[in-house]
Amino acid sequence: MEVIIQPTSEQASVIGAHIIANLVRDNPACVLGLATGGTPIPMYNELVRMHREEGLDFSRVTTFNLDEYVGLRPEQPQSYHAFMWEHLFSHINVARERIHIPNGMAPDIVAECEAYEAAIKAAGGIDLQVLGIGSGGHIGFNEKSSSLASRTRIKTLTAQTQEDNARFFGRPEDVPMHVITMGVGTIMETRQVLLLAFGQHKAQAIVDAVEGPISAMHPASILQMHPVAKALLDDGAASKLALNEYYRWVYDHKPDWQRFVRKRSKG
Ligand code: PGA
């Protein structure tokens, strides 16, 4: 895994936005996999700025979100539908018909999950998947012990995840217990992964993911098997990594052609 460590989450988020913007410029009809949670918000803000100030064009982009709560209507403020419109979709020129988020109100959850997988395939697969990581190591809502080959399906949240997400709901017991999430296997089929983690409270999950043994006890650790996975971290999230200094050394010595923040030609 390529590990990129920046002093602050803001700086890391700007790099993440450049990675996505480069992809969108190189392949305007690309397929983006998107995540919710507190972590990607500054990166989405930067993408919105690039759209407004630099004309970054999302008009041909297709999106697939990782997950959604079961039983929340899209218009409920805690739903991931509402989150994505609030933080990204309302502010860029993405076409509504190319946005995909699992329907947590689907009467037949199994059929909804199968249709979601089929829609990803029909779109040609996901070019770049944005991921956060739970304090317990989940990606999407694939909690500890999830099958590392799993597909989009219903999952039951851990009490820890309900507690972590209670800030959006008021009380942990108000957080829905069930979710639809892309599976670990679904995530592993994406062509590139961008894992974002900020803050000391993510340091253990990150060391388990990046340097630990591959295990369903740390679903994010399977990303070590992904051919193009980048972990974008701030100092806090990177603080327990054994090879911390090496990752910084590598990033500082990247050849110019490998840099993500491209020099934009003048005039
Ligand atoms: P967070 O959630 O970005 O709100 O910390 C990450 C996750 O649960 O994947």
Of 246, 234, 164, nearest to 203 by C-alpha is: 234
Tell me if 259 is assigned to some domain.
no
* The model's pTM: 0.96
- The verdict on the CB of residue 102 being under 6 Å from ligand 1 is no
- Residue 267: which pLDDT band, with cuts at 50, 70 and 90? very low
- Which structural domain range is residue 211 located in? 2-253
Of 19, 221, 186, 215, nearest to 113 by C-alpha is: 186
Question: For residue 163, which phi and psi values (nearest 5 degrees)?
Answer: -65, -45
165 Cα: distance to centroid of ligand 1 (angstroms)? 8
Of 75, 95, 77, nearest to 32 by C-alpha is: 95
Tell me if 266 is assigned to some domain.
no
- The verdict on the CB of residue 133 being under 6 Å from ligand 1 is yes
Tell me if 124 is assigned to some domain.
yes
- Point out which residues pair with 99 in neighbouring strands: 63
- Residue 261: which pLDDT band, with cuts at 50, 70 and 90? confident
Cα–Cα distance between 104 and 87 in angstroms, integer? 20
Tell me if 265 is assigned to some domain.
no
Instruction: Summarize pLDDT for 220-241 with one digit per residue, the tens.
Output: 999 999 999 999 999 999 999 9
Tell me if 42 is assigned to some domain.
yes
What stretch of H or E contains 162? helix 159-164
39 Cα: distance to centroid of ligand 1 (angstroms)? 6
Number of domains in the chain: 1
Tell me if 258 is assigned to some domain.
no
Residue range 39-68: mean pLDDT, rounded: 98
Look at residue 183 and tell me whether its pLDDT is greater than 90: yes
Least confident stretch, 64-73, 105-114, 167-176: 167-176
Least confident stretch, 15-19, 52-56, 143-147, 158-162: 158-162
**pLDDT of the residue at 5:** 98
DSSP 96-114: GGGEE---TT-S-HHHHHH
**pLDDT of the residue at 173:** 86
Of 171, 172, 166, 162, nearest to 136 by C-alpha is: 162
Tell me if 225 is assigned to some domain.
yes
Tell me if 33 is assigned to some domain.
yes
